[in-house]
């Protein structure tokens, strides 16, 4: 099996995405394009725009601290602007766009840098919302705003009252509230995109589990159940969400359709690697879980199954493929990232 070919096949835009992009007017601006999801989102948007035959530009904004990333995006026809979004002079010099995807934010290293976390996650959204008040805005958020729920509950729906644990999750709820305020005040069509957990061959909960099994390190079962979605599908849904922005702002959970057992996932990786997984701790009765039924009602059935994700990630990790080496800390139950 050619893992790279299989992986590339899972990154192509679907016909459903092409249909939506063909109906979308205006350019697509991605703020925070330099993060884990930004580059692949920009590439998918560009592929979709080209395949749909629209005249839209795809524009990415970041500090571009990763060497070579800006050049790589430009070589694929994506326009770029290097900017520190917290510098208001630089923010105001950015171009306008009809469609904005807001990916900027801070998670890891939150402990000890609480003020920066709140500035990025709760202050900056207000500046961006004012700058792009005439745009449609899809705001990346997180399922971390929800409380831990019983593992048999089916997960939090969009109607669940947020109860964020820890300052990272609290600041993310702050981001949502600020965008919601400006959506109503300025009549800006907005959608709050609550994601958990996106997975690629280079990072994600599934990579964390796969590497632990392969390296014969204990898999922590305290957060014994998770929701997972293929990153390429999460990117596709983000672009399709541009057609569902509203004022007051909409909220949508983005994740896989099933509650997945961490133990069972580890066992599946173990079968592929021919290794018996090592476990530590026991499953707690609650977990951070989201219910994405509304997402699948709007957009149709899942594109990439858990089985397919496990197979391609196992192939990648088993072959020693490059990963970001950025653990998700999905096991964290106290909100300390």
Q: What is the pLDDT of residues 141-194, one digit of tens each?
A: 999 999 999 999 999 999 999 999 999 999 999 999 999 999 999 999 999 999
Q: How far apart are CA 23 and CA 98, in angstroms?
A: 13
Mean pLDDT over 3-14 rounds to: 88
pLDDT digit string, tens, across residues 190-243: 999 999 999 999 999 999 999 999 999 999 999 999 999 999 999 999 999 999
Q: How far apart are CA 44 and CA 12, in angstroms?
A: 7
The size of the chain, in residues, is: 337
Q: How far apart are CA 324 and CA 213, in angstroms?
A: 17
- Report the CATH number of the 11-201+228-259+289-304 domain: 3.40.50.720
Asked if 191 and 140 touch (Cβ cutoff 8 Å), the reply is no
pLDDT for residue 325: 87
**Tokens 């202050």 belong to residue:** 123
Reduce the DSSP state of residue 208 to 3 states and report it.
helix
Asked if 224 and 284 touch (Cβ cutoff 8 Å), the reply is yes
**Residue 337: pLDDT over 70:** no
Task: Give the mean pLDDT of the chain.
Answer: 95
**Residue 7: pLDDT over 90:** no
Asked if 223 and 144 touch (Cβ cutoff 8 Å), the reply is no
Q: How far apart are CA 93 and CA 88, in angstroms?
A: 9
Describe the chain by its helix, strand, coil percentages, rounded to 5: 40, 15, 40
Mean pLDDT over 114-121 rounds to: 93
């Amino acid at each position: 099996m050619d893992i790279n070919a299989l992986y590339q096949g899972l990154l192509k835009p679907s016909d459903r995405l092409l249909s939506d992009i063909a109906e979308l007017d205006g350019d697509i601006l991605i703020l925070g394009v330099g993060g884990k999801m930004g580059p692949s989102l920009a590439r998918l948007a560009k592929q979709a725009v080209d395949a749909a035959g629209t005249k839209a530009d795809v524009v990415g904004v970041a500090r571009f601290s990763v060497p070579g990333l800006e050049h790589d995006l430009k070589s694929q026809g994506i326009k770029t602007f290097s900017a520190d979004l917290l510098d208001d002079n630089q923010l105001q010099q950015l171009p306008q766009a009809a469609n904005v995807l807001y990916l900027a934010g801070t998670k890891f290293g939150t402990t000890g840098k609480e003020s920066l976390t709140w500035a990025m996650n709760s202050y900056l959204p207000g500046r961006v919302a004012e700058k792009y008040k005439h745009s449609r805005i899809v705001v990346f958020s997180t399922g971390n705003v929800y409380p831990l729920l019983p593992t048999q509950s089916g997960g939090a729906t969009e109607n669940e009252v947020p109860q964020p644990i820890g300052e990272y999750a609290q600041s993310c709820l702050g981001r949502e509230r600020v965008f919601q305020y400006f959506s109503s005040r300025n009549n800006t069509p907005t959608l709050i995109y609550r994601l958990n957990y996106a997975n690629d061959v280079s990072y994600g909960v599934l990579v964390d589990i796969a590497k632990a099994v392969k390296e014969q390190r204990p898999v922590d079962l305290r957060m014994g159940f998770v929701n997972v979605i293929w990153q390429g599908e999460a990117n596709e849904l983000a672009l399709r969400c541009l057609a569902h922005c509203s004022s007051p702002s909409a909220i949508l959970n983005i994740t896989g359709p099933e509650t997945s057992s961490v133990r069972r996932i580890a066992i599946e990786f173990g079968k592929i690697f021919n290794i018996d997984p090592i476990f530590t701790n026991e499953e707690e009765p609650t977990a951070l879980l989201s219910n994405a039924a509304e997402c699948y009602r709007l957009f149709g059935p899942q594109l990439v199954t858990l089985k397919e994700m496990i197979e391609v990630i196992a192939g990648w990790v088993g072959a020693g493929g490059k990963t970001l080496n950025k653990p998700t800390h999905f096991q964290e139950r106290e909100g300390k990232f």
